Amino acid sequence: MIATIQYNNSRKLKVDLSKPLDISIPIKGSNNNVNAWYIGAPKIEPEVFDGELISVAKGASVNFNTITFNPHAHGTHTETAGHITETVHSINKNLKQFFFLAELVTVAPEKLGEDSVISAKQLQFALGNKKRDAVVIRTIPNTNEKKAKQYSNTNWPYFLEDAIKLLVKKGIKHLLVDLPSVDREEDGGELKGHKAFWNYRGQLRKDATITEFIYVSNKIEDGCYLLNLQIAPFENDATPSKPILYKLIA
């Protein structure tokens, strides 16, 4: 299905809606579900009434599962500035548009002492002077292990503050990364990347989002895409999400 979408009241984009490129990691009730932040695996379990499991496999007429998870720890999620503010700004209320022009770039984190980091210089090289609403960042090495990795106590790669400030300067409103966080796993609560992206000490960018724990297949080429940022309607600082990319048709 070919669709033409008006972008910024001037440019028209053509996309094939029959060929979505899903870059989300689903939540499974399993110990091999992707995980971070030192908590247990998510649970998806049938409810019990009067000693009976409400499951078709156990003789019930329906399946009736209760799901216990943390959006920040257990899969692809999108968060708003409420993640780091005393006032909990709801993602459901602050994300009001869902289609964006996005650039997918692949970056190899650089060594900085014992850490692996992404710098402003790297992002400037990857993005150049492109004007985009969103940037999708795939880090390498990029293997299927990312979809089930247990990240706690691994000191994952993170973004230097200047890299995030560069994205803000370029007008990026939506940042999507294949890491548990844009910040260092243990940073003493400084959260320099999050604070820079949402302009924590100034006019809060409540309409800007960070999406973490994506997975971008190596089959998807770097370049410009239409991004559909789908979220579950939670009144919370973060929610599970399903970002979809669509290739542009010349």
Mean per-residue pLDDT over the chain, rounded: 96
Question: By percentage, how much of the chain surpasses pLDDT 70?
Answer: 99
Distances (CA, A) of 242 to 23, 47, 177: 7, 26, 13
Terminal-residue alpha carbon distance, the chain: 15
SS3 state of residue 195: helix
The confidence score (pLDDT) of residue 139 equals 98
With 80 as the cut, is the pLDDT of residue 7 above it?
Answer: no
Sign of torsion over alpha carbons 248, 171, 166, 199: negative
User: CB-hemisphere CA count at 13 Å for 245?
Assistant: 25
Distances (CA, A) of 47 to 11, 26, 27: 50, 21, 18
Query: What's the angle, vertex CA 13, arms to CA 7 and CA 14, rounded to 5?
Result: 150
34-89 per-position pLDDT tens digit = 999 999 999 999 999 998 999 999 999 999 999 999 999 999 999 999 999 999 89
The average pLDDT across 218-227 equals: 97
Sign of torsion over alpha carbons 25, 28, 34, 37: positive
The confidence score (pLDDT) of residue 161 equals 98
The confidence score (pLDDT) of residue 5 equals 77
86-143 per-position pLDDT tens digit = 998 999 999 999 999 999 999 999 999 999 999 999 999 999 999 999 999 999 999 9
The confidence score (pLDDT) of residue 9 equals 66
The confidence score (pLDDT) of residue 2 equals 84
User: What tokens appear for 49 in the block?
Assistant: 């009434």
Distances (CA, A) of 221 to 104, 138, 163, 175, 245: 8, 10, 22, 18, 11
The single residue listed with the structure tokens 């650089």 is: 110
CATH of range 2-26+74-247; options 3.50.30.50, 3.40.50.300, 3.40.1440.10, 3.40.50.880? 3.50.30.50
Contacts of 101 by beta carbon, 8 Å cutoff, 6+ apart: 7, 13, 132, 133, 134, 224, 225, 226, 227
